[in-house]
Chain A
Amino acid sequence: MQFSEVYLKEVANCYHCGEACDRVDITAEGRHFCCLGCKTVFEILNENNLCAYYEIDKSPGISQKKLDSEKLESAVKSRCSYLDDNQIINSLVSFSDGNISVVNFNIPQIHCSSCIWLLENLHKLNCGIIHSEVNFLQKSLTVKFNHNEISLRRLVELLVSVGYEPQISLSDIENKIKYRSNRNLYYKIGIAGFCFGNVMLLSFPEYLSLETHLESLYKQFFGLLNIVLGIPVLFYSASDYFKSAYNGVKQKTINIDFPISLGLAVLFVRSVFEILTGTGAGFIDSMTGLIFFLLLGKLFQSKTYDALNFERNYKSYFPISVTIVNKGIESSIPVSKLKQGDRVIIRNNELVPADAILFSSSANIDYSFVTGESIPVQKVAGEIIYAGGKQIGGAVEMEVIRTVSQSYLTQLWNKDTFIKKDENRFNSLVNVVGKYFTVIILLIAASAFVYWYPVSLRTAINAFTAVLIIACPCGIALTNPFALGNAIRILGKNKLYLKNASVVERMSKIDTIVFDKTGTITQTGDANITFNGSVLNSYEQKLVKSLVRNSTHPLSGRIYDALESNEILEIKDFTEHAGRGIEGSADKVKIRLGSALFCADNNKILNYPDKAGEKPDTRIFLTIAGSIKGYFSINNIYRSGLEEITSALNENYSLAVLSGDSSGEKENLTKYFNENTKFKFNQSPLDKLKFIESSQLNGRKVLMVGDGLNDAGALKQSDVGIAISEDAASFSPACDGILEASSFGKLARFMRFSKTTKKIIISSFVISIIYNVIGVTLAFQSEISPLLAAILMPLSSVTVVLFTVSSTNLMAKKRGLV
């Protein structure tokens, strides 16, 4: 007995994926594998001299266990058959000529250096592949291949066979994978940096007050050269600021880019004027330097999570093709061509693409994408299966009753929320400040002009331009990118990945937090199995464990894991009654496990009344030798850290919990949430969206925390939508941020940190305004020298950058986020 345990612990970790092996009979070349799938991958690699894969990282492979039952060649083949369709090939391939095609795949399984190595050595597996390159951060693979030698379908099948199945979804077909990079920003920074450096060199005589020694020829020459170098910086590198300011004015708002553009334009015009008339050296050095720093700030802020996708809608979840049966002939068609009345075949782990009526006798539908609830629901023939469910088990047949876009779930996306654009929904603090700032500066500049006009027009113009130049809000403009950019990085280290910098600011304004229940505050995958009834002795446990071992039903697996027994008995006469239960006998004892009706008559079940927190439909009754022993029930487990979060958030936020389930769980929830919390049960996806909408109409700023597709509407509607995911790279609906489940307990700290960040931004504004007041006072007196400008402007920028970065780091440390 002990032997088997020791044996399992010490020896049998799968050589391919590192998972513990529960079977010891799967071996190849003296290596143990957890499943046949892993073994197959190993054999393919071994045959092709690619076993270095296992030496770069230990057990790098992707577990093939879940695919085992459908790993059969034919299943994979028919699943990929849509890739023979020319229309689909054309929309997937990014480049193609007579022989060579280039295609880009998303492969979320990429996780270590062995993956990179193997995927870049694909050409050793098939000579039709010319070159393959991995982008690790984007988890993508670009393959250049000769399509006369290997078809796209063969290529995908090859990737599947080594365990790296590309994720090809409906949205890839409709819009090609966008090339995300900020190359343009790099060009702009490069040019600004180059010109800035050279202008500084040419301005050196000014800084050292050597200009009096300089012959006028050189003065003229340096000045002209400065103008030439300034032109590309102003018109190319800084073009985004002008565009943004122009767009703002067009929409009758003044954003922070307006005073910046104004300052830059005045700087340039005045410099050109001074240089050409020989009255001064101009401020081209300040201008180029300012633009260079602003662009660096932009680069800092543009930190994005390449591998994560925040814009997913149902199209990213849905497969491209589906198998339909017409007069007994199976063929695969694109999902978009699916019509009402089509008979579709859904295999193990495939998604139901449209609402359909089940034709096969029974199906196990896992709605975890939709509701977050991972326990599959048993459906019997004639029931409607909503799109988004995943079949677990054998292939089933169903008839489509609504097209993909008309289905219950996908209809959500036809709502206005999904059509209107994100922009302008939020007025950033910096733009509010910028608006007042611009007005005040223009007033000051005008009064300087009026004040000096009696002296001379020339002095008046000088004072006017000097105010605009010195007041250019570079400090304010740099605050946002550095404070928010740094905050995003800190949150990212704590596994909260935000879409962009403005989310941090929006988080700081939140006053209402809405949680989804299933899958968000309860744990996905893990459920607590308890047995209610007479206590099972070890022999009875052994019997039950042996029985469930024969069943493929997911609940059987849960019960199997929950029971402690090391010995397995042989089960005779095992039968599985779909939708009802399983039975069998061992040692001549008959065991039945299943629904109440399957196991006992109604009178006996009355002995087991409903309990709080239990779902009646997840009760599994047990009879041994004809007498009812009790039932297994599956209870939700709340995520660890929930208590910490709710006790911290109860004070400052009004909370709400929305659930698609019945109210049975309310009693348990009130342990965590205080009496002011709103609870709503039996909520449809649309109800959730409406709930958020109505709170917003009451002036609330709402944070929604959800997980499944059924929360997608609410996530989109809310001011900040955060999706919880066990693994950030896997599926999550469109949202503003993805929170890894392991960091759920830190949510309250994240909220506090966002508020702190906002305070830091305000303090930084104060600092840069103090600089501006000093500068403007000097400028008002009409005398600013290029030297003063060259010192004051960078100094204020550097102070602001140092202040924001160091204080956000410090506060993160204080909040325990570093």
Chain B
Amino acid sequence: MSVILVLIGFSLLIAASFLFAFIWAVKTGQYDDSYTPSVRILFDNKTINNKTINNKTINNKTINSKNINENEKV
């Protein structure tokens, strides 16, 4: 039966390791801001980088063609 003493010791040790993980998480500020990280994780670094808008985007064309149409109406 004395094996139970050892097992309880282990179970406490494992539980304590989770407690320390929690304390570490609080200490490093993971509980300070509960909102921003949920947004931050959605930024995709690779695809979003290096996007420059230049004159030849499609959007621009539609705007120009609208201009022309409007002018014709008048």
Give the contacting residue for B23; candidates A6, A31, A117, A190; CB below 8 A: A190
A730: Cβ under 8 A from any B Cβ: no
B68: Cβ under 8 A from any A Cβ: no
Are A46 and B53 in contact (CB-based, < 8 A)? yes
Are A30 and B60 in contact (CB-based, < 8 A)? yes
Q: Which residues of A contact B63 (CB under 8 A)?
A: 11, 30, 32
Complex interface bits, B35-63 against A, C-beta within 8 A gives 1, otherwise 0: 11001101100001111111101011001
Q: Which residues of B contact A221 (CB under 8 A)?
A: 5
A-B contact count (CB 8 A): 91
Minimum CB–CB distance from B35 to chain A (whole Å) comes to 5
Count residues on chain A whose CB falls below 8 Å from chain B CBs.
41
Are B32 and A6 in contact (CB-based, < 8 A)? no
Q: Which residues of A contact B33 (CB under 8 A)?
A: 135-138
Closest to A42 in B: B53
What is the size category of the interface that chain B forms with chain A?
A: 35 or more
Are B36 and A183 in contact (CB-based, < 8 A)? no
Give the contacting residue for B51; candidates A32, A49, A187; CB below 8 A: A49
Complex interface bits, A783-807 against B, C-beta within 8 A gives 1, otherwise 0: 0000000000000000000000000
Q: Which residues of A contact B8 (CB under 8 A)?
A: 202, 225
Give the contacting residue for B52; candidates A10, A51, A191, A201; CB below 8 A: A51
Q: Which residues of B contact A29 (CB under 8 A)?
A: 53-55, 60
Are B66 and A55 in contact (CB-based, < 8 A)? no
* Contact A218 to B40, CB < 8 A, known contacts A30-B55, A51-B53, A55-B48: no
Q: How far is the CA of A191 from the CA of B64 in the complex (A)?
A: 65
Are A52 and B51 in contact (CB-based, < 8 A)? yes
Minimum CB–CB distance from A130 to chain B (whole Å) comes to 17
Q: Which residues of A contact B42 (CB under 8 A)?
A: 113
A3: Cβ under 8 A from any B Cβ: yes
Q: Which residues of A contact B73 (CB under 8 A)?
A: 3
Are B70 and A187 in contact (CB-based, < 8 A)? no
Per DSSP, chain A at the interface is: helix
Q: Which residues of B contact A44 (CB under 8 A)?
A: none
A186: Cβ under 8 A from any B Cβ: yes
A215: Cβ under 8 A from any B Cβ: yes
Minimum CB–CB distance from B5 to chain A (whole Å) comes to 6
Q: How far is the CA of A54 from the CA of B57 in the complex (A)?
A: 14
Are A49 and B49 in contact (CB-based, < 8 A)? yes
Q: How far is the CA of A135 from the CA of B49 in the complex (A)?
A: 22
Minimum CB–CB distance from B67 to chain A (whole Å) comes to 8
Minimum CB–CB distance from A140 to chain B (whole Å) comes to 9
Q: How far is the CA of A54 from the CA of B15 in the complex (A)?
A: 47
Closest to B50 in A: A49
* Contact A186 to B31, CB < 8 A, known contacts A134-B36, A198-B15: yes
A207: Cβ under 8 A from any B Cβ: no
Are B19 and A190 in contact (CB-based, < 8 A)? yes
Give the contacting residue for A30; candidates B22, B23, B59, B70; CB below 8 A: B59
Q: How far is the CA of A215 from the CA of B2 in the complex (A)?
A: 11
Are A51 and B31 in contact (CB-based, < 8 A)? no
Minimum CB–CB distance from A41 to chain B (whole Å) comes to 13
A88: Cβ under 8 A from any B Cβ: no
Are B36 and A116 in contact (CB-based, < 8 A)? yes
Q: Which residues of A contact B35 (CB under 8 A)?
A: 136-137
Are A183 and B53 in contact (CB-based, < 8 A)? no
Q: How far is the CA of A818 from the CA of B55 in the complex (A)?
A: 48
The residues of B with any CB-CB pair to A shorter than 8 Å are: 1, 4-5, 8, 11-12, 15-16, 18-19, 22-23, 26-27, 31-36, 39-40, 42-43, 48-55, 57, 59-60, 63-64, 66-67, 70, 73-74
13 contacts across the A-B interface (CB closer than 8 A): A10-B66, A51-B53, A133-B36, A137-B33, A137-B36, A190-B22, A190-B23, A194-B16, A194-B19, A197-B15, A202-B8, A221-B5, A225-B8
The residues of A with any CB-CB pair to B shorter than 8 Å are: 3, 6-7, 10-11, 29-32, 46, 49, 51-52, 54-56, 113, 116-117, 120, 133-138, 181, 183, 186-187, 190-191, 194, 197-198, 201-202, 215, 218, 221, 225
Q: What are the nearest 4 A-B pairs in CB distance?
A: A30-B60, A52-B48, A136-B36, A194-B19
